Amino acid sequence: MSINQVQIVAQILETQDAFYKEVFPNFRVASMFVVNGFPKFFHHTIEEIKEILSDAEIEKIASALEWKMGPDYALDGKDVLEVCPQEVASKVKKLPLFALCCLELLGFMRTSKRPRVTEGVDHILATPSIDEWARDFYAQAFPSVNYGVAFIMERFPEWYKNATDLSQAERDLVCKAMQQDIEGFSSILCGNILDEAFVRARANNLLSKKEQTLAEKICKMDFFKKSCLAVMGSAKIQRNKVISPKTTSSVASFFKEEFAGKTTGGILYAAESFRALFPALLAEALEPFSKEEKKIIRQAMQYHGRPEGLMAGALIIPAIRGLLDAEQNLGPQADVDQLVKKIEKMSLVHKSCLEVWGYYGAEA
């Protein structure tokens, strides 16, 4: 891609429209993920390369690339394979495509032959919400911010397709884990969300032994690959319009006060974080109980009825006592008392998880 071929996002859509429509909910989400994500992917990948190559070896490769690369470059991994010293060639050839491209960019960032582009009004990208630190990265790494953004948006589909080239069993497992985990693409940039998805899937007993072994293999993959796999796994999730739930004025006032006036944002945060935390908390809450005790908890909450959020954690014991009064064949009084004592020692959060599970959940 030469300096005369700088493209704005609208032009990139002409060649990459099908890819971004298929993989992301919309182009705005795609550009936010790719544009803001690339600097993070780059730095993570360089750190991973340092676990394979020494600093001296990376320096030799970057120096060789510095003299080879000019204003026309592809960032396709071919240049680094051509110039890398013979003594490290075997290591470099084993690197994934994106890592090779990061090495090339590292060399290009050092060269004095880089052309500069004057950013005119006609070439300002309509890239939504580009983070300031990401903007600084593009200004340093490329002839201009716009050039870098357009270039990365154009190159990303090939990197993504290479990173998500897995067996069908691996693809199915990633989709299975991510279907349990993600609501939006922004959280993918907050860390190894795929690792977290597998942790929750295991906590919910959703993975067979064979799948757990395969999950361990996937979790050892590089950061960029796992980020792309997280996107792949969540690509088919139906994203409905966000609907603010009805709530009481006292709850609304709480969120308005605690979230700087953003009532809906606070409620959405509570709902999303509950989804993220609930599986692990429920697993902890159920651990002390026998199969018979779990059965009583379910019977009690089914007898009591739908748990109320404002009474979270305060319903489970009265529900068990109420069921005991109504059911003569529930079991010995001593066994029920022992169950209640276990619950009394639990935190309010764990009690509320038992209430939700007892009424809504599947049998453990």
Instruction: Give tens-digit pLDDT for 324-341.
Output: 776 655 566 667 788 888
Of 361 and 48, the structure prediction assigns the larger pLDDT to 48
For the segment 4-30, the average pLDDT, to the nearest whole number, is 63
Q: pLDDT per residue over 175-229, tens digit each?
A: 888 776 544 455 555 556 777 778 777 777 888 888 888 888 888 899 999 888 8
* Residue pLDDT, tens place only, 129-160: 677 788 888 888 887 788 788 888 888 999 99
pLDDT value, residue 1: 38
Contact 298, 363 (CB under 8 A): yes
| Ramachandran region, residue 221 (left: φ > 0; alpha: ψ -120 to 50; beta: rest) | beta
- Give the pLDDT score at 2: 36
Q: Which two tokens stand for residue 158?
A: 């090939």
Contact 232, 173 (CB under 8 A): no
pLDDT at residue number 75: 79
Q: Which residues contact 266 (CB under 8 A, 6 or more apart)?
A: 254, 255, 256, 258, 259
Structure tokens, 329: 């064949």
38 or 243, which is more confident: 38
Name which of 239, 222, 189 is nearest 24 in CA terms: 239
Q: Which of 12-16, 161-165, 339-343, 351-355 has the lowest mean pLDDT?
A: 12-16
176 Cβ partners below 8 Å, 6+ apart?
201, 206, 211, 233
Q: How many CB atoms lie within 10 A of CB 167?
A: 9
The whole-number pLDDT of residue 235 equals 67
State the Cα–Cα distance between residues 274 and 183, nearest whole angstrom: 12
- Sequence-distant (6+) residues with CB within 8 A of 72 are 1, 2, 3
Residue 126 has pLDDT above 70, yes or no: no
Mean pLDDT across 157-183: 82
pLDDT score recorded for residue 30: 79
Question: Mean per-residue pLDDT for 281-297?
Answer: 88
Residue of higher predicted confidence among 199 and 169: 169
In whole angstroms, how far apart are CA 355 and each of 194, 247, 327, 363?
Answer: 29, 20, 19, 13
pLDDT tens across 44-101, in order?
Answer: 999 999 999 998 898 888 888 876 655 556 778 888 888 888 888 899 999 999 999 9
pLDDT per position as a tens digit, 219-273: 889 999 988 888 888 765 544 444 556 666 677 778 777 777 777 777 777 777 7
For residues 346-355, one letter each, b for 16 or more C-beta atoms within 10 angstroms of the residue's C-beta and e for the rest, the string is beeebbbbbb
In this prediction, what percent of the chain has a pLDDT beyond 70? 77
Q: Give the pLDDT confidence score for residue 224 in this predicted structure.
A: 92
- Higher-confidence residue of 305 and 4: namely 305
Q: Which of 359, 244, 235, 241 is nearest to 308 (CA)?
A: 359
| Separation CA 322–CA 136 (nearest Å) | 63
